Amino acid sequence: MADSTLRVGCVVSAPFDENTYIAHLDGRSDCVVFDPGLEPNAILDYLSDHRLTPAAIICTHGHSDHIAGNAVLKQRWPACPLVIGAGDAVKLINPVLNLSAAFGFAITSPPADRTLREGERHTAAGLEFDVFDAPGHSVGHIVLLCKQAQPWRLFGGDVLFAGTIGRTDFPDGSFEELRDAIHRKLFTLPDDTIVLPGHGPETTIGREKRTNPFVGAPAGYVG
C-alpha cells in the first residue's frame, strides 16, 4: 500500500504477559485490536492516547488471556465486530474450554460476530490479513498475515515465540499439529517476516528457522 505506513502498538497484560496488538495505518483513526487481554483499561488508554477507534477485534484463539478484554471493548464499541477462527468460537462463551475455569475464575466473552477460516482474507481499517489455520496450541487457532508493509507482519498468537513454541499440553493441543503448521505455513514465509507473538518479544521467521530448539534447525528442520 503506497504512501501508507503500518503502525503496530503493543499493550502487555499481567499476569501472563500477554501481548495485545493495535494495528493501524498512518493518517487513519480506525484500527484493528488483536487479542484483548486481562488489562482492558490499558488498551482503552492506548486507544484514547492515539485517538484510535477499533474497526475489528480479532482473536487468534479462544484462551482466556487472549479474550478477557473483549467484553469491555464491545461495551465501549458495540458495533465493532468480534472475529475469531471458526474452530475456537465456542471458547469465547465457555469458561471450561477457554481454560479460565481451571484458574478459578470464569471468563466469558461476547459471542463472535464473524468467524474466519483458512484461505480467507479479512479486511478492516484499510488493512488486509490473509488467514491461516495453525492448530496445535488450540484446535481453532489462526494466524493472520499482513503483506502491506515491508517486511511482512504475522500476528501469530501462541504458535511461534522467540526461541520456543506455544504449549501443547492443553486438552485440544498437539505438538505434531503445531510443528506441522509452523513448518508448512510459517516457515515458508520470507525469512524477514516479523512474527508478533502472543507473549514475549517479536522475532522473525528466519531467526526461528535457524535457532528454535523445538521446530528449527536444532530440532532437525531442513528448509
HEC readout, 126-157: CEEEEEEECCCCCCCCEEEEECCCCCCEEEEE
129 in a domain, yes or no? yes
Contact present, 26 and 2 (Cβ < 8 Å): no
Residue 81 lies in domain: 6-219
What is the per-residue pLDDT for 174?
Answer: 98
What is the per-residue pLDDT for 103?
Answer: 85
1 in a domain, yes or no? no
131 in a domain, yes or no? yes
What is the per-residue pLDDT for 1?
Answer: 37
- Going residue by residue through the chain, which has 223 residues, state the pLDDT in tens, using 9 for 90 and above: 344 699 999 999 999 999 999 999 999 999 999 999 999 999 999 999 999 999 999 999 999 999 999 999 999 999 999 999 999 999 999 999 999 998 888 999 999 999 999 999 999 999 999 999 999 999 999 999 999 999 999 999 999 999 999 999 999 999 999 999 999 999 999 999 999 999 999 999 999 999 999 999 999 999 8
Q: Would you give the DSSP letter of residue 216? A: S
Distance between start and end Cα atoms, the chain: 30
What is the per-residue pLDDT for 223?
Answer: 85
What is the per-residue pLDDT for 2?
Answer: 41
172 in a domain, yes or no? yes
What is the per-residue pLDDT for 4?
Answer: 67
- Number of structural domains the chain divides into: 1
CATH number at residue 165: 3.60.15.10
Q: Would you give the DSSP letter of residue 111? A: P
What is the per-residue pLDDT for 63?
Answer: 98
What is the per-residue pLDDT for 3?
Answer: 41
159 in a domain, yes or no? yes
pTM of the model: 0.97
